Amino acid sequence: MADARIVVRLDEPIAQINPNIYGHFAEHLGTCIYDGVWVGPDSPIPNIDGIRRDVVEALKRLNPPVIRWPGGCFADDYHWQDGIGPHEERPRTVNLWWGESIESNHFGTHEFIRFCRLVGAAPYLCGNVGSGSPRELRDWVEYCNFSGESTLAMTRAANGSAEPFDVCYWGVGNENWGCGGRFCPEDYGTEYKRFSTFLHDMSGTPLYLIACGPNGNNPDWTRRFMSKIGDYSRIHGYAAHYYCGTAGTATEYTVDQWYQLLQRSRKVETLIAQQRAILDGYQPVGVGARRRIGLIIDEWGTWHPPTPGRHPKHLWQQNTMRDALVAASTLDIFNRHADKVVMANIAQTINVLQAMILTDGADMLTTPTYHVYEMYKAHQGGMSVRTTVDTPNVTFAGAEGDESMPMLAVSASHKEDLLTVSVVNYAADTPIEAAIDLRQGRARGGHVRVLRAADIHGHNTFESPHAVEPATAPLDRSGEMWPFTFAPASVTVLHIHLG
């Protein structure tokens, strides 16, 4: 008899999965941009106009839908004019937030747009509310998007881009409850309305304006902000941040700490449900109608203690199988709530926090989290369908006594006759056999990909960059119900042909 049962209800669609929930975030922090993305055109490291070629090729394999830039805390002290024009004429400024590093401004608006186009992602620009002005942000929109003969558009052309950049996604500040200005919700609401009043669609590019939401699941911030802006209509997205933190360190943790962090990461589901319900209370919609304000989580992920030997303000951390399971479980939550979440941006793309990629000089490696994104890309744009899971629980020592959590997490989506089912086995040392029950569908083979390591601390290093990688095998299953065994501490994606 199977240990668990997974029912995939093909006749109960939830919503189409917005590819943007598989988005990324790159901040001027540590070596995310400099060395991670930008090495300059004269570097011996192979590059495309100064952008690392190996990073471009790796990111393209993820089908990245959107990248958020330039911050983060950096955004509310960033003045975009510093990052345009000849490199040798750009000012050298101090990065206030991340270790007082000298910012060369060699990677600016043009370089970021070039990076996005190389990897196939839409740009998401986060504007400066904390130390900037409405005029400054309004001018950045014109510089990027206007196709006529204004001074700003002609300056863009003189700097190498005659055609507008057509940037749709614009954040009106970042973490304005903290490093973005220490606003209370009401004061930020006032500033949001003031800044966004001057952000207009230009030359046929519609703007998608994103407001700063709460730090974690803070209902008070959302209610007070929404009460302040009232029926103001120039808001399209609302962005919360959710970091699940750590338990132990990035690479050293007990089995109990393995479960503690995975349990903490699962709480983003509560944030989604509660924040969406609050927004719906202020912007009610009828059954089947499209919500006017989309819920976004544009910073999320693990945040481990500083790595010994590294600058503590640069937030470099190793990335293990535990981080991979956090990523997979979180993406499964986003998939299951495809009717509620329109964008999410993991923090961050390269060399910072829960990174896809780590670089060291000319060397580059992809992390277990990267492999999750590559395995899960089939979900992008698919129709999410309801799943139910009957699974045993695991009990562990939590911060305040014994806790328990289910051993399996699941999401499913389909595109025509291809069904993608992703499954996380949280159990550190227990394989689980599950009966896979397809309602209103029959399997006729496919393939399976599994990401696991020799132990729960498995990770890739520059000495062993391929230690943790997914394995692919045929899926020789047919019919409406069949068993499958999920390895311990693993991420599995079943690609099932229906017929």
Show which residues are catalytic: 175, 299
How many CB atoms lie under 10 A from the CB of residue 490? 22
Burial (Cβ within 10 Å: 0-12, 13-18, ≥19) of residue 465: middle
Cα–Cα distance for residue pair 49/312, rounded to 1 Å: 31
**H helices present in 181-267, as ranges:** 185-196, 219-229, 255-265
- Asked if residue 70 has a cis previous peptide bond (ω within 30° of 0), the answer is yes
Four-CA torsion 399, 401, 402, 408, nearest 10 degrees: -30
Q: 321 phi and psi, to 5 degrees?
A: -60, -30
Return d(Cα 467, Cα 140) in angstroms, integer.
44
Beta bridge partners of 300: 242, 346
Residue 315 to residue 208: CA distance in whole angstroms: 30
Which own/partner pairs from 417-420 qualify as long-range (CB within 8 Å, at least 24 positions apart)?
417/497, 417/498, 417/499, 418/378, 418/446, 418/495, 418/496, 418/497, 418/498, 419/8, 419/10, 419/443, 419/494, 419/495, 419/496, 419/497, 419/498, 420/378, 420/379, 420/382, 420/493, 420/494, 420/495, 420/496
Helix (H) or strand (E) holding 433: strand 432-439
Structure tokens at 321: 């199988």
Amino acid at 166: D
Q: If we measure between CA atoms, which residue out of 110, 81, 78, 107 comes closest to residue 95?
A: 78
Residues listed for the chain: 499
All residues at 6 or more sequence positions from 177 whose CB lies less than 8 Å from its CB, including other chains? 183, 184, 185, 188, 212, 214, 215, 221
